[in-house]
Chains A and B, each alone.
Chain A
């Protein structure tokens, strides 16, 4: 991990903050998100994703950000994914997008999607500063607002934990590459 160079470290005025210990996995956020942005109930096109571990009884919300260095911005070859200078939110300029799907693979939270029906990249825009998911979350597992940088630091710990988890499940179940 040491050879990764941080190009840009930014202070994030407002961010989606996740407390997975409060998440019950009800997926109301996915429903509200798809209803707001797609006009129908379709969790597969939601801009966030709840991963449910039914065997462990654990639910983990994956939302866009907080990213003080954003892989989706860094990887975009045509500068279609950019960071808003004021809100620091990363956003997609759909007119410039060439559908190379690099951002889909680069997103550490796995919440950038390719809509294979309409052929477009789906990316959270924090509902322009008033995110629907945080408003409907019944337990306060997803909140939105300015916070200390701890949330960002915490997310790094979460990603490290994920990598360990992937390593563990690969050891147990195999990667499929064998």
Chain B
């Protein structure tokens, strides 16, 4: 087996309670590398089209890559892959922490969870000691309590626990899986998949090793990589305020989603900015595995209605989803809301966005107190936000409807409420706005799992890194490519970024230092991959680009099998019809069609249907997919 891999796939079948260890097919390595790539290949082959994501047939994959568990910067990422309960299409959720590294030390590259258990169980992996343990006494507990209880059961503080909370048990469509208290695999509802299989948690502990092909060369380059992170001024700022630093930037460029994306500037932004929060509330800096940046912040609230709240997070997206999006200018509220989401196990972006949908529909008179069960919804109401989140986690009253996500809620309410539901393919829009940042409009529309800010978000144009843009795309595409208000060349930027991020997601390394700040890119991956695996095929950027293209197209084929076509690559009307009302981008709207056509051309997808053409399948050696459609 090539270096970096453990060479084993662990399968657990919950229906008959049996574990099975398989050899990782060596022929997967060259075309798919690992992580997302292995997951896409396995899920496409093994899931029949049209199955219920919450049914017994669905599978959940926890995947790692060759870099996971080594000393390359930010190598602690893991990905959870399944058919998504929120969208019914391709679902994946990347998460930091230590779970992936621990899985590899236990001796497995992938964990595949199949079938459905009769009784609540937790999966206990301790090197080669594999057990399904009874979790009846843990059912109903919040994620923090489950994690503590399992660590106590195992008498080992180093056990990595991935747990679901009450929201996952009740199959809230955007339920998350929480890794050791505060790392969330949030999006697309992986927690609901585990809940539907009666799996309360996964506990992993490993004492083994990850060996790389050329240790000396690897260590030299990894140490250089760490120094590049440590000396980068943006990374240094990030280790102080994490992603909160984005709030001031977003406000300045008019892309801070406010009042359910109605506008891009928020009057109360200062109280949500990093410079305001850190000296008042932050009590500690933390990092995930192998990270020299350390963007996670532990925060404590001393006084006010939420006094005594101690929690990691929220990130920028949390400040957006529970702050500006709902008109709340108070950090303590966002921290408390974040804590409730962590404990119940719910995705922050989807929860905040679904609540914003309900508030706007209520304020504009589309729904009334009859629908909400007597609640008078309004912008900026802090206590109401906490109450609504608890109702969603418990699926109680109006929370029952909101637990289905904004798309399903709008469908069942009717009365024109769909225009307030900010989603693409069923997944709620993250904290960006295509009107003042054109490339993300294309990214949101074409993302494999819906309105996604992690698979193709181009930061270079948004923040105007002229030098980086010249290096990546050539001087001839400037200045248009870094102009956030024009559609021109945006498909090129998205195409190339998505390719690089695909490789990032197969290694697997963190979003930060690849996507933002721009420290590592394809040429660095082309250096570290051969050092790790010993496979020289990875040393050419064009080969990596082909692997990335294969992956994007494979996910597209997975979605196509579920009925996704060009008509689904759309945006809510708010972004394409309502001009931005204020701020630097005043009057801007998105013209999606030209960008879509450019993008399809680059990807080799049909311009009318948006599906990969026959030539593309041949070029990317994806003809095997036809046997599974």
Contacts and interface: CB of A to CB of B under 8 A. Distances in A.
Nearest to A52: B157
B82 interface: no
A26 B207 CA distance: 18
A44 B210 CA distance: 11
A26 B148 contact: no
Interface string B204-220: 00111111100100010
Interface stretch (A29-37, A63-71, A73-81, A142-150): A29-37
Given A42-B208, A55-B144, A27 B181 contact: no
B292 A57 contact: no
Contact of A26 (B144, B155, B157, B287): B287
Contacts of A31: 70-71, 290
B280 interface: no
Nearest to A21: B284
Interface residues of A, number: 32
A40 B291 contact: no
Nearest to A38: B209
B210 A42 contact: yes
5 pairs of A and B residues whose beta carbons are closest in the complex: A57-B298, A138-B292, A42-B209, A24-B287, A26-B287
A28 B226 contact: yes
A35 B220 CA distance: 12
Interface string B147-175: 11000100101100000000000000000
Contact of A28 (B152, B210, B292): B292
B71 A41 contact: yes
Interface in B278-332: 283-294, 296, 298, 310, 312
B254 interface: no
Interface in A1-56: 21, 24-28, 31-32, 34-35, 38-45, 51-56
A157 interface: no
A34 B144 contact: no
Contacts of A42: 105, 207-210
B223 interface: yes
Interface residues of B, number: 45
Interface of A: 21, 24-28, 31-32, 34-35, 38-45, 51-59, 136, 138-139, 173, 176
B215 A39 contact: yes
A31 B69 CA distance: 8
A24 B209 contact: no
Contacts of A57: 182, 283-284, 286, 298, 310, 312
A34 B209 CA distance: 9
B144 A24 contact: no
A35 B71 contact: yes
B559 interface: no
B93 interface: no
A41 B212 contact: yes
B180 interface: yes
A55 B142 CA distance: 13
12 contacts: A24-B296, A25-B286, A26-B289, A27-B98, A40-B210, A40-B215, A41-B210, A55-B181, A138-B230, A138-B293, A138-B294, A176-B155
Contacts of A54: 147, 180-182
A24 B70 contact: no
A159 to B, nearest CB: 18
Contacts of A28: 71, 226, 290-292
B215 A139 contact: no
A162 to B, nearest CB: 13
A27 B96 CA distance: 14
A133 to B, nearest CB: 12
A32 B218 CA distance: 11
A27 B209 contact: no
Contacts of B206: 44
A139 B236 CA distance: 11
